[in-house]
């Protein structure tokens, strides 16, 4: 347990390192980190679901919804100034995703194993099918998106990227720290119990469906905020955010990192984006193959993910 | 509503090839409890091999009617090579894992196969259109349809009949049903479960490749086709009930008809409507339309 107690101080140290170190990084590295942090939030939600024993092949639904909500907030809602805010847009995306998660959660909380995976996949493909053909929603071209302020403060041109970077670093810190606390709370500790034996959880007087539902909503909110951040970073959104291969990528990163610690998804996401950008440049036709082989190796030799390497070392020490 | 007939016919043609893919997927799931995400890539592989064979056949100026054997040849080739390699080389080390872990394994396989296809055939599109128009057309309600499409429907029906007959009437089929029912007891009774798995996976692979091989003359063969078709095949088997043969047929018909109706009446909702049906079926019949009741195990 001593290793777990170090998590919060380590996270705040990492926050400071990333905030200060990021200032000296070139633009492309900052953009890459924002992307990795945004997607890391989605994978953080998957960590919670996997701890509950569920794998969703449809987190792209909330990821995409968050991104589209962020855009529609700036385009449609009545406060265009407020809604081109780099903080308000992802948060709005998270809220919209959370509301949908609440609604769909009533249904999905009844499903397990592949049926959970398939139904969540179906929902994300419904959104994809809607977006790709509806011209009011931008159809396959999508929308461009921009931000001008951060928490109401107007951003000078030279500061825009770093402001978004600092925001995403801060959001990831808040999300991981809160999730870490949550996992050690009563409700959070029920998640692995649900995975191990639902019947016992029910006998002990807790509602399995409630646990699944709450965790599902949290995962949806995280995916929505992550989608909003990624949308701001890329500056463009399209329906592919909801396509099932996007969701598959999140599952890949979650398996890669493992569920041992809240930092694992974020680190795995950083590693993934870094490898992906390098592989895209040097081996555009074989990088998926590299990913596939990596996934197989992780499943075979590190079933608890890359994080288990740290844990093993901690135990030996 | 005068155009109900073309909607029906297009739907049935669409359903035929969906059925051939989905039946392989459902067979593998039924026996091995693996929801094979790489099934779509095997389908793509079948299409690519067919495109290559057809291209070579016509560039050598061989008898054009002989080209009808090529899709079948391609399917058997892909099935007999890829099936055993994947089953013996990878999947057999994974049995006994959680179903979700097995999905991840086949997802990894999908990623590998997708790039393997790109490495061999590149990213440009291929076509194998020649056999499609060869037999000419026939008319239904004033609209022309190619005879190739009629053959496609015939192949789907024959596959369905052959599998049903094979499972119910042959010794091998009965062994298979025993393994589906209880793997451990079957093994204890002396059934070679390893071999049953190998044969099942190979047949499933042949069927996936056959669907791709038959569709190749109708469409342009592109890298994304496997990833696109696998989610449709999921929809089909989930609607019908995972592991059920009549379920796959019904699911294919539903998806085929819904898809073709959407294309004819309201093209904006094509993809959307298929997954909506899938979600609705899962909501009201979580295990699909043709699922048997299952005893709860603690």
Structural domain boundaries, residue A126: 2-243
* Interchain contact, B275 vs A133, CB within 8 Å: no
Q: What pLDDT, on a 0 to 100 scale, did the predictor assign at position B298?
A: 47
pLDDT at A2 over 50: no
A84 domain-assigned: yes
Domains and CATH numbers, chain B: 4-284 (1.10.3470)
Q: What is the dihedral of CA B183, B184, B185, B191, to 10 degrees?
A: 70
Set of chain B residues whose Cβ sits within 8 Å of the Cβ of A128: 271
pLDDT of residue A216: 92
Number of domains in chain A: 1
The proportion of chain A whose per-residue pLDDT surpasses 70, expressed as a percent, equals 91
Query: By the 8 A CB rule, do A256 and A303 touch?
Result: no
Task: Report the mean per-residue pLDDT for chain B.
Answer: 84
A chain contacts of residue B104, beta-carbon cutoff 8 Å: 55, 251, 255, 295, 299
* In the predicted structure, residue A227 carries a pLDDT above the cut 80: yes
Work out the average pLDDT over A201-227: 89
**For the residues B256-275, what does the mean pLDDT come to?**
82
Shortest Cα distance, chain B CAs vs residue A86, angstroms: 31
Please write the tens of the pLDDT for every residue from A105-125. 888 888 877 788 888 888 888
B91 at A interface, C-beta within 8 A = no
pLDDT at A134: 74
Q: In angstroms, rounded to a whole number, what is the distance separating the alpha carbons of residues A66 and B185?
A: 50
| Band of residue A218 on the pLDDT scale cut at 50, 70, 90 | very high
Burial class (CB in 10 A: 0-12, 13-18, 19+), A27: exposed
Contacts of A296 in chain B (CB under 8 A): 90, 105, 108-109
pLDDT(B169) > 90? no
- Tell me whether residue A215 is in a domain: yes
Taking one residue from A and the other from B, the number of pairs with CB-CB distance under 8 angstroms is 113
Contacts of B99 in chain A (CB under 8 A): 113-114
Provide the chain B residues 105-134 that lie in CB contact (below 8 A) with chain A. 105, 107-112, 114-116, 118-119, 123
Query: CA A304, CA B192: separation in Å to the nearest integer?
Result: 33
Supply the pLDDT for residue A215: 92
Asked if residue A114 is part of any domain, the answer here is yes
Residue at A236 is within a domain:
yes
- Is residue A305 in a domain? no
C-alpha to C-alpha distance for A84 and A87, rounded to whole angstroms: 9
Higher pLDDT, B298 or A57: A57
The model's pTM is 0.85
Chain-chain contact of B115 with A110 (C-beta, under 8 angstroms): no
> What distance in Å separates residue B73's CA from the closest CA in chain A?
27
Q: Return the percentage of chain B with pLDDT > 70, whole number.
A: 97
Average pLDDT value for residue range B116-133: 80
Strands (E), chain B: 137-140, 143-146
Give domain status of residue A256, yes or no: no
| Predicted complex ipTM | 0.81
Nearest CB to B272; choose among A118, A130, A293: A130
In a domain? residue A78: yes
pLDDT per residue as tens digits for the range A142-171: 777 777 777 667 777 777 777 888 888 889
Q: List, for residues B127-145, the tens digit of each pLDDT value.
A: 777 777 777 777 777 777 7
A37 falls within a domain: yes
Percentage of chain A lying above the pLDDT 90 cut: 8
């Amino acid at each position: 347990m001593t290793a777990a107690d170090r998590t919060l101080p380590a996270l705040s140290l990492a926050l400071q390192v990333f905030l200060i170190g990021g200032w000296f990084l070139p633009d492309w590295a900052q953009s890459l980190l924002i992307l990795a942090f945004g997607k890391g939030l989605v994978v953080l939600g998957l960590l919670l679901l996997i701890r509950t024993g569920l794998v969703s092949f449809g987190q792209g639904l909330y990821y995409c919804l968050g991104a589209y909500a962020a855009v529609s907030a700036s385009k449609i809602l009545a406060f265009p100034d407020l809604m081109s805010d780099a903080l308000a847009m992802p948060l709005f995306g998270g809220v919209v995703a959370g509301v949908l998660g609440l609604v769909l959660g009533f249904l999905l909380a009844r499903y397990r194993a592949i049926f959970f995976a398939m139904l969540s996949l179906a929902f994300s493909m419904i959104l994809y099918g809607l977006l790709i053909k509806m011209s009011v929603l931008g159809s396959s071209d999508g929308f461009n998106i921009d931000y001008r302020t951060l928490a109401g403060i107007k951003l000078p041109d030279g500061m825009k990227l770093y402001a978004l970077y600092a925001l995403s670093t801060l959001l990831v810190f808040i999300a991981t720290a809160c999730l870490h606390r949550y996992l050690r709370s009563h409700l959070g500790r029920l998640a692995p119990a649900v995975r191990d034996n639902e019947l016992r959880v029910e006998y002990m007087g807790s509602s399995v469906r409630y646990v699944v539902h709450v965790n599902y909503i949290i995962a949806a909110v995280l995916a929505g905020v992550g989608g909003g951040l990624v949308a701001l970073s890329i500056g463009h959104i399209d329906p592919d955010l909801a396509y099932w291969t996007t969701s598959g990528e999140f599952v890949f990163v979650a398996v890669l990192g493992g569920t041992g610690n809240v930092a694992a998804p974020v680190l795995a996401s950083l590693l993934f984006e870094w490898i992906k950008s390098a592989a895209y440049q040097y081996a555009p036709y074989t990088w998926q193959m590299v990913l596939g082989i990596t996934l197989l190796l992780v499943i075979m030799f590190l079933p608890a993910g890359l994080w288990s390497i740290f844990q093993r070392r901690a135990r030996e020490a | 509503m005068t155009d109900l007939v073309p909607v029906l016919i297009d739907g049935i043609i669409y359903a035929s090839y969906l059925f051939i893919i989905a039946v392989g997927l459902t067979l593998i799931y039924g026996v091995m409890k693996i929801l094979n995400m790489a099934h779509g890539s095997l389908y793509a592989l079948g299409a690519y091999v067919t495109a290559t064979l057809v291209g070579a056949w016509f560039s050598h100026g061989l008898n054009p009617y002989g080209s009808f054997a090529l899709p079948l040849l391609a399917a058997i080739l892909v099935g007999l090579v890829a099936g055993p390699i994947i089953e013996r080389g990878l999947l057999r080390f994974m049995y006994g894992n959680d179903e979700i872990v097995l999905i991840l394994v086949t997802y990894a396989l999908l990623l590998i196969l997708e790039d393997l296809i790109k490495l061999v055939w590149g990213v440009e599109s291929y076509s194998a259109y020649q056999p499609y128009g060869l037999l000419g057309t026939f008319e239904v309600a004033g609209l022309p349809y190619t005879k190739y499409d009629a053959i496609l429907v015939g192949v789907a029906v024959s596959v369905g009949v052959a599998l049903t007959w094979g499972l119910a009437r042959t010794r091998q089929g009965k062994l298979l049903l025993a393994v589906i029912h209880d793997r451990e007891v079957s093994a204890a009774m002396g059934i070679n479960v390893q071999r049953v798995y190998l044969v099942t996976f190979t047949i499933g692979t042949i069927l996936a490749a056959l669907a791709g091989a038959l569709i190749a003359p109708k469409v342009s063969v592109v890298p994304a086709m496997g990833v696109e078709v696998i989610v449709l095949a999921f929809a089909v088997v989930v609607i019908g009930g995972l592991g059920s043969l009549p379920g796959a047929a019904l699911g294919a018909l539903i998806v085929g008809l819904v898809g073709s109706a959407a294309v004819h009446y309201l093209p904006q909702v094509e993809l959307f409507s298929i997954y909506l049906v899938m979600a609705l079926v899962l909501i009201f019949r979580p295990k699909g339309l043709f699922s048997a009741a299952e005893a709860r195990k603690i």
